[in-house]
């Protein structure tokens, strides 16, 4: 079932800034936010940190770009990167 809700214009602007991609639906955005706030074993500090990350448009764009690059097969394997940076631990 689909329903319509009313939100303040300022809330809509904030939601727009939280979108990972401009084509992400509000439904998907809200599901993503709610799933990140699962009450099971989540501390208040973890929730605050998550909200801060989700509220940063630049970080969310960076994450979206990284996901797109990953889906396109771009990137380097961690083991190769570790060797390249001489981080053999």
pLDDT, residue 62, reads 92
* Helix, coil or strand: residue 23: coil
pTM for this structure? 0.42
Question: Which residue segment(s) compose the domain that 80 sits in?
Answer: 9-84
Query: Tell me, what's the pLDDT at 41?
Result: 55
**Is 79 inside a domain boundary?**
yes
Distances (CA, A) of 54 to 4, 18, 30, 48: 24, 6, 11, 10
Q: Is residue 1 part of a domain?
A: no
pLDDT digits (tens, 9 = 90+) for 27-36: 999 888 888 7
55 domain residue, yes or no: yes
Query: Chain centroid to CA 1: how far?
Result: 26
Q: Rounded to an integer, what distance in angstroms lies between the CA atom of residue 17 and that of residue 56?
A: 8
Q: Total structural domains in the chain?
A: 1
């Amino acid at each position: 079932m689909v329903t319509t809700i009313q939100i303040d214009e300022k809330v809509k602007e904030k939601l727009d800034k939280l979108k990972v991609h401009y084509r992400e639906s509000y439904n998907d955005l809200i599901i993503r936010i709610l799933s990140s706030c699962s009450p099971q074993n989540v501390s208040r500090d973890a929730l605050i940190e998550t909200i801060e990350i989700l509220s940063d448009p630049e970080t969310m764009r960076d994450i979206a770009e990284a996901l797109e690059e990953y889906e396109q097969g771009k990137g380097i394997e961690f083991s190769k990167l570790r060797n390249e940076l001489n981080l053999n631990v």
